[in-house]
Chain A
Amino acid sequence: MSVESQDLNLCANDKRGKHQLGAGAGLVGWDEVTQGIVLTSFDGDASDIAHKKAEERNYSEFNSYTASVASWRVQKPVFNRDICIDCQNCWVWCPDTSIISRDKQMLGIDYDHCKGCEVCVEVCPTNPKSLLMFNEHADLDESLAAWPEKKKKEKK
């Protein structure tokens, strides 16, 4: 099975996942802010966001897009492009907006925001699955090389 190495920063805005949660963006403490605080999700023009992809948006420091929850994971999903049929099941059900799809194609996983819940693996319909869980520290190419073969249907 030929497998291309994956670009982990695919479609990533350069602000993605810079901050640790809790560390904040070097701002005043929650007990020092004025009541009725407004946090802006974008710097500058925020109109027409629905028609801008993540990589085209001017995220502010307050946007959780700039934070990372990668440390929550024990296991990570690995994506195998060779088997994927671009059904977008993983995209619609990922609770953490971590499936990167562009122009109807599944491209990969946003490892700054993925929490490793395994929902995407569960809903992937291919045989073998195009997404599988591996240890967080597993090498991506080695994981892909260890991909299982197609499973025969069990007789009922």
Chain B
Amino acid sequence: MAITSIKNLKEFSTNNDRFEGAHTLCPGCAHSMIVRELMNCTDDNLVIASNTGCLEVSTAVYPFTSWDTSWIHIGFENAATAVTAAQVMHKVRKKKGNLKDNDAPVKFVAFGGDGSTFDIGFQWLSGAMERQHDFTYICLDNENYANTGGQRSSATPVGATTSTSVAGTHSYGKKEKKKDIVAIMAAHGSPYVAQLAPNKWKSMAKGFQKALETEGPCFINTVSPCCTEWKFDPKDTVGLADLATDSLMFPIYEIVNGHELNILYRPKNPIPVEEYMAAQGRYKHLFKPEYRHIIDQVQADVDKTWEMLQRREEARI
């Protein structure tokens, strides 16, 4: 396994990008920040599959590909299935010794949006995790079906307006709570699961490297601020991720072998979730007096989750 140096950004920047420009993701899209980090944290060969979504559609605009690695364009729900099939094929051929370069290290990675990961591709992902394949699944969580016009997913948080949970005179936006995908994946017996954010580039690179190095099915949920659907200025993508991690809306942590929970970022003075919400158009309506209690409810939930994570970190269970 040849991981690259992430000691500091200068060393990290000596890597030669294997994700090319002239893809058609929106200006300022965090998906590509996350993909570039993954591809720069190793110099092993990579076999990557993508579920349909913004990343997949925008990086394979016929006749162009933005991927300098093997990359499979597959259905909305089955990147996990496709990449694990490739992994098994590679294992068998390696055993038979009939690969072009039998010793070249290869890593298998699947990318999916939250729509494909939390909802529509869920059983395919669950199956691949249960079969204990050696691969890493990375969810690009922008909390909505962005590629089809911003519908709600089970990753959309309470109070956000989306095109299918529209806020108006009779609604404050989405009512149901976000699914805890990290806990669900840990419950599959995964040796390494984590939630990471692109503003914390080092913990993200470290987590990616751990996942790639760990044998077995690893899962990482990544926060991917989406300027188009969250409604903020593209230049603020990294700042939005800062607000997300500093307000603990997206706590950054890992769970090793199902019980060893480590918090990877502890903000000195967590900011109120209100500040995170105020920076995005999708929460604008919540600032009307009649919806104040929704903001308070989200804050209470965030506080409770943070308390739970800290206790689990201590308890090591």
Kindly state whether residue B13 has any CB partner on chain A within 8 Å. Answer: yes
Kindly state whether residue A87 has any CB partner on chain B within 8 Å. Answer: yes
Kindly state whether residue A123 has any CB partner on chain B within 8 Å. Answer: yes
Which of chain B's residues have a CB closer than 8 A to the CB of A39?
63-65
Which of chain A's residues have a CB closer than 8 A to the CB of B238?
93, 119, 122-123
Number of interface residues of A (CB under 8 A): 57
B67 contact from A17, A41, A53, A122, Cβ within 8 A: A41
Inter-chain CA distance A52–B201, complex, in Å, is 23
Mark B17-30 against chain A: 1 for CB-CB distance below 8 A, else 0. 11111111101111
Nearest-Cβ distance from residue B192 to partner chain A, whole angstroms = 23
From A62, A68, A96, name the one whose CB has the most chain B CB atoms within 10 angstroms. A96
Inter-chain CA distance A64–B62, complex, in Å, is 10
Which of chain B's residues have a CB closer than 8 A to the CB of A129?
none
Nearest-Cβ distance from residue A43 to partner chain B, whole angstroms = 13
From A19, A42, A101, name the one whose CB has the most chain B CB atoms within 10 angstroms. A101
Inter-chain CA distance A54–B22, complex, in Å, is 14
Whether A50 contacts B22 by the Cβ 8 Å rule is no
Kindly state whether residue B275 has any CB partner on chain A within 8 Å. Answer: no
Inter-chain CA distance A96–B17, complex, in Å, is 11
* Nearest A residue (CB) for B43: A50
Main SS of the interface on chain A?
A: loop
Inter-chain CA distance A15–B171, complex, in Å, is 53
Which of chain B's residues have a CB closer than 8 A to the CB of A52?
16
Which of chain A's residues have a CB closer than 8 A to the CB of B59?
64
Which of chain B's residues have a CB closer than 8 A to the CB of A42?
68
* Nearest A residue (CB) for B61: A21
Which of chain A's residues have a CB closer than 8 A to the CB of B30?
95
A112 contact from B22, B31, B62, B234, Cβ within 8 A: B22
B234 contact from A67, A88, A118, Cβ within 8 A: A118
Whether A64 contacts B12 by the Cβ 8 Å rule is no
Whether A64 contacts B27 by the Cβ 8 Å rule is no
Inter-chain CA distance A63–B23, complex, in Å, is 10
Binds B, one of A22-30, A134-142, A143-151: A22-30
Kindly state whether residue A156 has any CB partner on chain B within 8 Å. Answer: no
Inter-chain CA distance A69–B66, complex, in Å, is 13
With A50-B15, A64-B64 as given contacts, are A122 and B22 in contact (CB-CB < 8 Å)? no
Which of chain B's residues have a CB closer than 8 A to the CB of A97?
17, 19-21, 32, 36
Kindly state whether residue A47 has any CB partner on chain B within 8 Å. Answer: yes
Inter-chain CA distance A64–B66, complex, in Å, is 5
Kindly state whether residue A155 has any CB partner on chain B within 8 Å. Answer: no
Kindly state whether residue A89 has any CB partner on chain B within 8 Å. Answer: yes
Whether B61 contacts A62 by the Cβ 8 Å rule is no
Whether A92 contacts B9 by the Cβ 8 Å rule is yes
Inter-chain CA distance A152–B15, complex, in Å, is 36
Kindly state whether residue B198 has any CB partner on chain A within 8 Å. Answer: yes
Kindly state whether residue B37 has any CB partner on chain A within 8 Å. Answer: yes
Nearest-Cβ distance from residue B247 to partner chain A, whole angstroms = 19
Whether B14 contacts A103 by the Cβ 8 Å rule is yes
Nearest-Cβ distance from residue B212 to partner chain A, whole angstroms = 13
Which of chain B's residues have a CB closer than 8 A to the CB of A17?
22
Kindly state whether residue B158 has any CB partner on chain A within 8 Å. Answer: no
* Nearest A residue (CB) for B237: A119
Whether A95 contacts B33 by the Cβ 8 Å rule is yes
Nearest-Cβ distance from residue B203 to partner chain A, whole angstroms = 13
Which of chain A's residues have a CB closer than 8 A to the CB of B31?
95
Kindly state whether residue B103 has any CB partner on chain A within 8 Å. Answer: no
Kindly state whether residue A130 has any CB partner on chain B within 8 Å. Answer: no
* Nearest B residue (CB) for A122: B235
Whether B63 contacts A27 by the Cβ 8 Å rule is yes
23 inter-chain pairs at a CB distance below 8 angstroms, sorted by A residue, are: A17-B22, A24-B63, A25-B63, A47-B101, A63-B65, A63-B68, A66-B64, A67-B22, A87-B9, A88-B13, A89-B9, A91-B9, A95-B28, A96-B23, A101-B14, A104-B10, A113-B20, A114-B21, A116-B27, A117-B237, A118-B28, A118-B234, A121-B235
- A interface with B by C-beta (< 8 Å): 17, 19, 21-22, 24-25, 27, 30, 33, 39, 41-42, 47, 49-54, 57, 61-69, 72, 86-89, 91-98, 101, 103-104, 110, 112-119, 121-123
Known contacts A50-B18, A103-B14, A119-B234; 15 further A-B pairs (Cβ under 8 A):
A21-B24, A61-B63, A63-B66, A64-B61, A65-B22, A66-B64, A89-B9, A92-B9, A92-B36, A95-B30, A96-B32, A104-B13, A117-B27, A119-B238, A122-B238
